[in-house]
Structure 1
Amino acid sequence: MTRNISSDDVAALAAGAAIFGTGGGGAVTTSQFGVADALSKHGPVRLRTVEELTDDDMVIVMAGIGAPTVGIEMLPSAEQPETLLREAERVAGRRITAVMATEIGGTNGVGPVGWAAQLGLDVLDADGMGRAFPEATMVAMNVAGVPRDTTVLSDVVGNVIVMRTVDATWLERHVRAFSVASGSLCLGASLLDAKDVPGAVIEGTVSRAIEVGHAMLEAEEPVHALARTLRADVLINGKIIDVSRRTEGGFVRGSVTISGTGTERDRLLRVELQNENLVVLEDGEILVSVPDLVTLVDSETGHAISTELLRFGQRVSVLAWACDPLWRTERGLDIAGPRAFGYDIDYVPFEAGAISRPSTEQNEEPSTSGANA
């Protein structure tokens, strides 16, 4: 059923998108204000399902590309979305009718709503990842074999480039080079014909992010509410005791170490990251790995903490839950499994409760994994 996204939904969308960002996609605060402003100026935007698309529809798939740390200080230009749309329609030779987020995670899951309001377009209730991933190859369209042969990029000073690449791997190389040349941050868009959408996107993710955000914002115990809504496990509650982070090649890379508190004070978890949280380890064992989702949230408020905002001493809870089934296919794992990030390990699907305390406790509240996970 078609619905509208209004100013009343922005806080929940931002909170939910931050959760699905798995540490990446950029911090949502700036984009949240921008989207709220765009909706107040231009009115609500229509959220359309995949089933509601017709043969006359053309979708522009948009995202900020680069290092999230840079996005804290270098804000996008207000003209970038309009520049991209004009160039994309010129290349396509037809009118574009809807905006889709490349990734529902982080600011890239929030920004498209504001861009749609600004451009007078609908928003598609779907995205290309069901989370956030750091590379242009790691999208559902690539898993489904839908070509992305034309990409338009724009930076904050007005440079525009149109790329026609032979495959997604070459697209990633050239996009990353443009991003680095633009100060490690740019805005990108690709085109998706309505007939190619079914089976090539992760459906329902915008409305899902809003649902998760509302569950967290309205709960007395936000972390428990998140775990229930996401069907996630709370791997640990603790304090950050070390953050190693660097920006290189257009990415944020590093790791964060969490020391358990209370009854978990004898535990240490390390989370490795490349823009997003990739792998969780304890005592040399891998608890969770991509493409399954791992998010660090504030233990009191439940708000997700993006990788660029992790700090020593923060009290955090680590949540993990299963990815969309598309990423567990052979091609999905080739594109976004552990080996795609350089880890010489086999992917073991994460299932909530599989490494947790007895199921009798799980029926009452979200579980916290034990030290022998």
Structure 2
Amino acid sequence: MREIGIQEIEDIALGAALLGAGGGGDPYIGKLTAIQAIKEHGPVKLIDPEEVPDGAFIMPAASMGAPTILTEKGVGANEFAKLFDMVSRYYGKPVYATMPMEAGGVNSMVPIAAAARLGIPMVDADGMGRAFPELQMVTFTIGGASASPMAFIDEKGNSGILDTVTNKWTEDIARAATMTCGGTLTIALFCMDAETCRSFGVKGIVTRSEELGRAIRHAKDRASEAGLTPEQYFLQFAGGHKLFKGKISDVLRETRGAFNFGKVVLEGIGEDKGSQAYVEFQNENLSCVVSGEYLATTPDLICLVDTETFMPVPTDALKYGKRVLAVGLECFDMWRTPAGLELVGPRYFGLDTDYIPVEKRSARKEG
């Protein structure tokens, strides 16, 4: 167990924005939500899944909807108490702890704010190890856990509990409610016991986010100490595979069905000068194509970062002329199983390719 304060929040938000693979919301909005809660209620206790008592009840908290809309609306301070009270009364048991369901600039922060305001600990685990656009896309679905009963509330106070027959039905009905309520909701879903969290959660994700954020902030200093270029240090620490370096020449973006859809086109710079690449996204980046060849696809992480600072660039912040480095990160092992690929593989998202791990695709390019 350790405590999360304001400095930890800064690093977690930054690292989680990288793991968000372009989605998961704006880290600035997420930080504001968490920092204000910490200022008002004090630090949050972060506990390992093994520290959760047997039989204890964990209620993950998240924001649902299009990241662009969330940037405009933000996450309120008063929804958590009502949300958690609804869930506690429904199950007839107290909520012991909360946890993130995905990594991302906002959804790594929402549970911190909830934990601070409710005086409960947060578990160092999530259900993705990254961000995905649909709520059934979690490792707990592979483990047979149910997303519902799922509680939701909007900033106006509209609230309810969904009880559905499958996790995909939870996604579809909740998505319709999200659209009706203005594009974003605060939700509680996949409520679980300690054993489920230990068996199927992506453990240590909050700590990994914090370490990545700290490494990004200090990349230039630490690279010099290690005798590496900042880019080499960043790729080494993150475990990243370099896909393409380019300048954004075009961005196509639309909000449809409470998702951000789009494509960003890159003109090569440096060693990639003369080549072109593009990245397609649905909230999160789904594929990276260089000179007509797939170099990375979901469920591996495709991250765009600033070429000088290595700060993550989410899909809603992509702008013409910005210079970015496209980096592939290896996903959590469970996503590479047949059950994982059925949920989040490239063909689920309509990409005409089978999944090949990013380390193999990028090695073919380097070779």
TM-score, normalised relative to structure 2: 0.94
CA distance in 2 between counterparts of 1:332 and 1:256 reads: 26
Could you say which residue in structure 2 is the equivalent of 1:116? 115
Give the Å deviation of 1:57: 1.5
Residue 60, structure 1, aligned to residue 89, structure 2: no
Task: Please state how far the C-alpha of 1:353 moved relative to its aligned partner.
Answer: 8.8
1:256 to 251, 258, 264: 264
Give the residue type in structure 2 aligned to 1:286. Answer: Y
Deviation at 1:240, TM superposition (A): 0.3
* Structure 2 SS opposite 1:214: helix
The alignment partner of 1:73 has SS state of helix
How many Å separate the matches in 2 of 1:182 and 1:325?
36
Task: Give the Å deviation of 1:3.
Answer: 1.4
Helix, strand or coil: the match of 1:234?
strand
Residue 172 of structure 1 pairs with residue 171 of structure 2: yes
Aligned residue for 1:36, secondary structure, equals helix
Partners of 1:50 and 1:124 within 8 A in 2: yes
Name the counterpart of 1:333.
341
Q: Does 1:313 align with 2:321?
A: yes
What's the C-alpha RMSD, in Å, of the aligned pairs?
1.5
| Cα distance in structure 1, aligned partners of 2:231 and 2:154 | 37
- Give the equivalent residue in structure 2 for 1:206: 206
- The 8 Å contact of residues 223 and 301 in structure 1, kept in 2 or not, is answered as no
Aligned to 2:215: 215
CA distance, structure 2, for counterparts of residue 180 and residue 61 of structure 1: 22
Matched residue of 2:199: which SS? Answer: coil
How far apart are the structure 1 equivalents of 2:32 and 2:146? 34
Distance 2:8 2:207 in 1: 10
Q: Is the 8 A contact 1:105 1:130 kept in 2?
A: no
- Quick one: distance in 1 between partners of 2:233 and 2:192? 35
Equivalent pairs counted in the alignment come to 358
1:281 alignment partner, one of 256, 273, 289:
289
Aligned to 2:227: none
My pick for the range that moved more, 171-180 or 104-113, is 104-113
Would you say the 8 A contact 2:248–2:319 is kept in 1?
A: yes
What corresponds to 1:238 in structure 2? Answer: 246
2:347 match: secondary structure:
helix
Indicate the residue corresponding to 1:192 in structure 2. Answer: 192
Aligned position for 1:347: 355
User: Hey, what does 1:103 align to over in structure 2?
Assistant: 102
> What is the aligned partner in structure 2 of residue 300 from structure 1?
308
Shift in Å at residue 223 of structure 1? 4.1
Secondary structure at 1:355 match in 2: helix
Instruction: State which drifts further: 189-198 or 245-254.
Output: 189-198
How far 1:225 moved relative to its partner?
Answer: 3.2
Match of 2:71 in 1: 72
**What amino acid sits opposite 2:30 in the alignment?**
S
Do the aligned partners of 2:276 and 2:290 also contact (CA within 8 Å) in 1? Answer: yes
After TM superposition, list the pairs within 5 Å mapping 1:153-172 onto structure 2: 153-172=152-171
Kindly provide the amino acid, as one letter, of the partner of residue 211 in structure 1: E
- 1:62, CA displacement in angstroms? 1.2
Secondary structure of the residue aligned to 1:286 is strand
User: After superposition, what is the alpha-carbon deviation per residue over 1:148-187, rounded to whole angstroms, capped at 9, x for unaligned?
Assistant: 2310011110000100011111111101001110111111
Greater CA drift, 160-169 or 140-149: 140-149
Report which stretch shifted further, 5-14 or 17-26.
Answer: 5-14
SS of the equivalent of 2:14 reads helix
* 1:76-110 deviation line (CA, Å, top 9, x unaligned): 22111112111111111111011111101221012
Query: d(CA) in 1 for partners of 2:53 and 2:38?
Result: 25
- Kindly indicate whether the alpha-carbon contact (under 8 Å) linking 1:143 and 1:332 is maintained by their aligned counterparts in 2: yes
**Aligned position for 2:7:** 8
Q: Once the 2 structures are TM-superposed, how far is the Cα of residue 263 of structure 1 from its aligned partner?
A: 2.9
Instruction: Flag structure 2 segments of 5+ consecutive residues without an equivalent.
Output: 224-229
Letter in 1 for 2:31: Q
Work out the CA distance in 2 between the residues paired with 1:225 and 1:86.
Answer: 46
Q: Which amino acid aligns with 2:241?
A: D
CA contact (8 A) 2:28 2:105 kept: no
Q: Secondary structure at the match of 1:304?
A: coil
Q: In terms of mean alpha carbon deviation, does 190-199 or 133-142 score higher?
A: 190-199
Tell me if the contact between 1:106 and 1:132 (Cα under 8 Å) persists in the aligned partners.
no
Partner of 1:142: 141
- Once residues 360 and 311 of structure 2 are traced to their aligned partners in structure 1, the CA distance between those partners, rounded to angstroms, is 20
d(CA) in 2 for partners of 1:283 and 1:8? 41
331-340 vs 40-49, which moves further: 40-49
TM-superposed deviation, 1:322: 0.7
Q: CA deviation at 1:289?
A: 0.3
Q: Which residue identity lines up with residue 193 of structure 1 in the other structure?
A: D
Amino acid at match of 2:322: Q
TM-score (norm 1): 0.93
| 304-313 vs 345-354, greater mean Cα deviation | 345-354
Question: Matches of 1:106 and 1:33 in 2, distance apart?
Answer: 11
The answer to whether the 8 A contact 1:45-1:113 is kept is yes
Equivalent residue, structure 2, for 1:364: none
Q: 1:299 to 1:354 in 2, by over 3 A?
A: closer
- Deviation of 1:115 (Å): 1.6
Equivalent position of 1:363 in the other structure? none
Decide whether aligned partners of structure 1 residues 352 and 226 sit closer, same or farther in structure 2, where only a CA change above 3 A counts.
Answer: farther
- Alignment-derived partner of residue 83 in structure 1: 82
Task: State the secondary structure of the residue aligned to 2:73.
Answer: coil
4+ runs deviating over 6 angstroms:
none
Structure 1 portions without partners, runs of 5+: 357-368
